[in-house]
Structure 1
């Protein structure tokens, strides 16, 4: 007989009921301690979603005034074709000084 596991088993229902009882108890004993964080988080969300006009104006002026900084003069900006960009250095092998005879076979 195979038993199909659903979303809600006995432990899930028990934890959910205890959670609801705890939330209701905290609301009845200290309503300000429960409502105040919800109001603050709601205000932060609304300010993020719908910013005030003075913040919108600051954001738009910052985006419209983009400045381009010219780093080099026009004669120095031309690439030099006669010289390669980097030197090609061949790799060389450095012989190790570790002696394998000192090491035991099994360690």
Structure 2
């Protein structure tokens, strides 16, 4: 988040605040559905359902946790230096495709 807020952002946030206050004074019942929807989304974000998380993740044994992840990779990679392929460039200034 930027340390200094731009004037445009301040104006937009002020207008949002004025609009929400005016809506609450005129007809507060219309704000119930958006508040409930955002509340449910926030709760599901903070506390995800345990059934979906537990079924997808398999418990690992202690030996699997101790093993180094790099130890399982094969180290049969050869060091091959780069090769330069000699080639020539056409000296024609005309493009090949017209």
Scaled to the shorter chain, the TM-score interval is 0.3 to 0.5
Higher relative contact order (CA 8 A, sep 6+): 2
Larger Rg: 1
